[in-house]
Chains A and B, each alone.
Chain A
Amino acid sequence: MLPMQAQLGAGMLEMMKNTPMYKSYVAVAPNPADFPKLLDAMGAYMRKPYNWPMTSRR
């Protein structure tokens, strides 16, 4: 699962086009052409390691 998540990026645009995520995005997004950028940003987020208990400042 983690390697799959790490692949998320603009390269997945074509295979995403039939998904509810893509369709709902382009229906309302301020700039629908930004979807690949969102995929890149989400990919970068998912590739970044987190240690949540350590990160928490509670």
Chain B
Amino acid sequence: MIRSAMLILLAAGAALLTAPGPIQAAEGTTTMKTENASAAKKNGHMEVKGVNYYYEVHGEGEPLLLLHGGLGSIDMFDPLLPILGENRQVIAVDLQGHGRTTLGNRPISLIDMGDDMAVILKQLGYKEVDVLAIPWAPASDSGWQCSIPMPCAGWRWSRVASPRKASIRKCCRCRRNWAPACSR
């Protein structure tokens, strides 16, 4: 029972943990995290609607928003960040109640977090981004696709090849323009 519950959690959210590399990262000590945080080009906190979000920016290039799975954190991506950062500017955010981000008093909702991501990206000065997101159960693959576009129509999603075998089961690509006229 315990084992199957864990497996579901793994399958549901922390999909990266099934890959050999990320397992080490997740079980590693804070040393690795500190290294990665200090390797970030920029990092910090941003308060959005009562949740104090932690974010890191890595690398240079076209911006890529990186969203971890349920019960994970940016640290899930430790082995991937240097690879992704070679060609892309990666904006990684610890989601509500996860990693270094506070839980706040709001219920957890992908839709609300999608809206928060829009605020964070705008605040950081990004006009359009690609998104790489780990699916969250039970919303599964479609969850982020449906929630991130929420703040404004104009997101364009398409699938791109998975950079790391099956460890990221689906990569979602989306772009949007942060038009000033954009409203809910």
Contact = CB atoms under 8 A, between A and B. Distances in A.
A24 to B, nearest CB: 5
A15 B108 contact: no
Contacts of B4: 4
B24 to A, nearest CB: 10
Contacts of A30: 52, 100-102
Nearest to B5: A4
B30 interface: yes
- A interface secondary structure, majority: helix
B153 interface: yes
Contacts of B26: 20-21, 23-24
Given A58-B149, A58-B153, A5 B138 contact: yes
Interface residues of B, number: 46
B72 interface: yes
Nearest to A2: B138
Contacts of A28: 30, 33, 73, 75, 99-100
A20 B14 contact: yes
Contacts of B147: 55
B175 interface: no
A31 B102 CA distance: 8
B139 interface: yes
A44 interface: yes
A41 B97 contact: yes
Interface string A9-52: 00010010001110111011111001001100110111000101
Contacts of B179: none
Given A24-B33, A24-B99, 8 more contacts: A4-B5, A4-B8, A28-B73, A42-B70, A42-B108, A45-B107, A52-B143, A58-B153
5 contacts: A20-B26, A21-B9, A24-B26, A27-B29, A27-B30
Closest 6 A/B residue pairs (Cβ): A20-B26, A56-B146, A21-B71, A45-B108, A52-B146, A38-B97
